[in-house]
């Protein structure tokens, strides 16, 4: 009897940790026969857990939403409070805890009854919690729908293909079918890292540019990926995408001296002969390039090699500085 109870609880834990399980997967994980699995499913149903089953090659079992909270002995009010807190932390863009927060949020919201979902939505939309804050540029951070965040988290967790509409930075709209892997917060924005099936490559999507997300119920075999791998992919994609203005500073200073003076910012400085160095620069705007020049050591002669818009802006600023330095 004890073994049966333990196995039934293990089955419940598996159903709560994954959106969909095939019968074969559950049989292999539990080490039981098909008949025993069916009996254990019936025991859970008798305890009040709604478990959907489907026949065929893509058939299996999944835990229904709205069957009550997981066996944590929580009241409805406690469940609402926990879900609101998790949503607030998820949308706040906190680094380090995003994966566990979204995982817990997905597990709890998966089994919340509709009445509690409505209470949580009302609290989330009317309570001043989880403020989005501001970006480094001073602009307000874009808001992300907590329901969308939870939906994408389920897709990542369950390895389920998603279809949605996406509007890129240029305003061009497209339809995408992707295999989602991770949700990654960077600079107070949320990004989805996914394998784009039509483009046959990795793509990074901003959540505030996504709409009409549809769960296809089609599952895929995920490739191995750690959280660090996902973050590196997203940050690399963002760096390539946003740093679209480049220039070079050729300085009359040996490489070791310039690199030491600039410190971390001079990690890409290279030698140009014995007495000169080249400092490659990249920024989102020409203003960013000019601001970087303020880091150059005083008294060191240098010239800037870059596109015409950078050189023209630099000349215009030089004239403005000259006028500003004239005393009456």
pLDDT at 123 over 70: no
CA 134/CA 7 separation, integer angstroms: 49
Could you tell me if 254 and 318 lie in one domain? yes
Could you tell me if residue 168 is inside a domain? yes
Burial class (CB in 10 A: 0-12, 13-18, 19+), 116: buried
CATH number reported for the structural domain that contains residue 13 in this entry: 1.10.10.10
Could you tell me if 171 and 217 lie in one domain? yes
Could you tell me if 229 and 166 lie in one domain? yes
Domain boundary residue among 207, 225, 242?
242
pLDDT for residue 168: 77
pLDDT at 130 over 60: no
Q: Give the residue among 193, 292, 278, 177 at the shortest CA–CA distance from 233.
A: 193
CA 144/CA 122 separation, integer angstroms: 16
> Which residue carries 């069916």 as its tokens?
38
Could you tell me if 250 and 320 lie in one domain? yes
pLDDT for residue 75: 62
pLDDT at 194 over 90: yes
Could you tell me if 207 and 263 lie in one domain? no
* Higher per-residue confidence, 90 vs 13: 13
Structure tokens at 295: 């880091």
- Residues 318, 297: contact at Cβ < 8 Å? no
| Highest mean pLDDT (candidates 59-63, 102-106, 235-239) | 59-63
Could you tell me if 188 and 206 lie in one domain? yes
User: What HEC string does 105-173 produce?
Assistant: HHHHHHCCCHHHHHHHHHHHHHCCCCCCCECCCCCECCCCCHHHHHHHHHHHHHCEEEEEEEECCCCCE
pLDDT at 247 over 90: no
DSSP 21: B
Phi-psi group of 32: left, alpha or beta (phi > 0 → left; psi -120 to 50 → alpha; rest → beta): beta
Could you tell me if 217 and 147 lie in one domain? yes
Could you tell me if 148 and 211 lie in one domain? yes
Listed range (116-120, 201-205, 317-321) with the worst mean pLDDT: 116-120
Phi and psi at residue 315, to the nearest 5°: -65, -40
pLDDT at 208 over 60: yes
Could you tell me if 236 and 252 lie in one domain? no
Domain boundary residue among 203, 218, 242?
242
Burial class (CB in 10 A: 0-12, 13-18, 19+), 266: middle
pLDDT for residue 240: 56
pLDDT at 90 over 70: no
- Residues 149, 207: contact at Cβ < 8 Å? yes
pLDDT-based confidence at residue 47 (cuts at 50, 70, 90):
confident
Could you tell me if residue 76 is inside a domain? no
Could you tell me if 225 and 251 lie in one domain? no
β-partners of residue 210 are: 166
Which pairs count as long-range contacts for 203-207, CB under 8 Å and 24+ apart, including other chains? 203/176, 203/178, 203/237, 204/233, 204/234, 204/237, 204/238, 204/241, 205/166, 205/176, 205/178, 206/142, 207/144, 207/148, 207/149, 207/152, 207/183
pLDDT at 235 over 50: yes
* CB count in 10 Å sphere of residue 54: 13
Could you tell me if 157 and 187 lie in one domain? yes
Question: Residue 84: in which H helix or E strand, if any?
Answer: helix 76-91
Domain boundary residue among 214, 242, 270?
242
The number of distinct structural domains making up the chain is 3
Angle of CA points 290, 292, 297, to nearest 5° = 110
Could you tell me if residue 210 is inside a domain? yes
pLDDT for residue 138: 42
pLDDT for residue 187: 66
pLDDT-based confidence at residue 291 (cuts at 50, 70, 90):
confident
Could you tell me if 219 and 267 lie in one domain? no
- Residues 269, 262: contact at Cβ < 8 Å? yes
* CB count in 10 Å sphere of residue 239: 10
Could you tell me if residue 128 is inside a domain? no
Its domain, for residue 315, covers 245-324
Could you tell me if residue 191 is inside a domain? yes
Could you tell me if residue 98 is inside a domain? no
CATH number reported for the structural domain that contains residue 266 in this entry: 3.30.70
The upper half-sphere exposure of residue 170, i.e. CA atoms within 13 Å in the direction of its Cβ, equals: 4
pLDDT-based confidence at residue 3 (cuts at 50, 70, 90):
low
């Amino acid at each position: 009897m004890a073994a049966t109870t333990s196995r039934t609880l293990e089955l419940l834990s598996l159903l709560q940790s994954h959106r969909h399980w095939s019968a074969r997967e559950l049989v292999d994980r539990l080490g039981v026969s098909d008949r025993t699995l069916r009996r254990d499913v019936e025991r859970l149903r008798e305890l009040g857990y709604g478990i959907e089953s489907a026949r065929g090659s893509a058939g299996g079992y999944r835990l229904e939403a709205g069957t009550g909270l997981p066996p944590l002995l929580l009241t409805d009010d406690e469940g609402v409070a926990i879900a609101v807190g998790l949503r607030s932390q998820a949308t706040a863009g906190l680094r380090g805890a995003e994966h566990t927060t979204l995982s817990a949020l997905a597990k709890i919201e998966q089994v919340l009854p509709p009445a509690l979902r409505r209470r949580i939505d009302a609290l989330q939309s009317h309570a001043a919690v989880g403020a989005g804050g501001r970006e480094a540029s001073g602009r307000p951070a874009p808001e992300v729908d907590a329901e969308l965040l939870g939906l994408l988290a389920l897709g990542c967790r369950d390895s389920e293909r998603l279809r949605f509409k996406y509007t890129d930075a240029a305003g061009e709209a497209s339809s995408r079918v992707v295999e989602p892997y991770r949700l990654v917060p960077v600079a107070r924005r949320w990004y989805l890292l996914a394998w784009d099936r039509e483009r046959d490559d990795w793509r990074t999507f901003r959540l505030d540019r996504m709409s009409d997300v549809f769960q296809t119920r089609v599952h895929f075999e995920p490739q191995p990926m750690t959280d660090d791998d996902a973050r590196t992919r997203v940050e690399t994609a963002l760096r390539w995408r946003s740093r679209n203005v480049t220039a070079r500073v050729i300085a009359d200073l040996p490489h070791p001296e310039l690199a030491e003076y600039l410190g971390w910012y001079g990690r890409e400085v290279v030698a140009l002969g014995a007495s000169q160095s080249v400092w490659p620069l990249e920024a989102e705007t020409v203003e960013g390039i000019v601001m970087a020049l303020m880091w150059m050591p005083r008294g060191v002669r240098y010239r800037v090699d870059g596109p015409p818009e950078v050189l023209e802006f630099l000349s215009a600023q030089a004239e403005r500085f000259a006028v500003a330095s004239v005393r009456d």
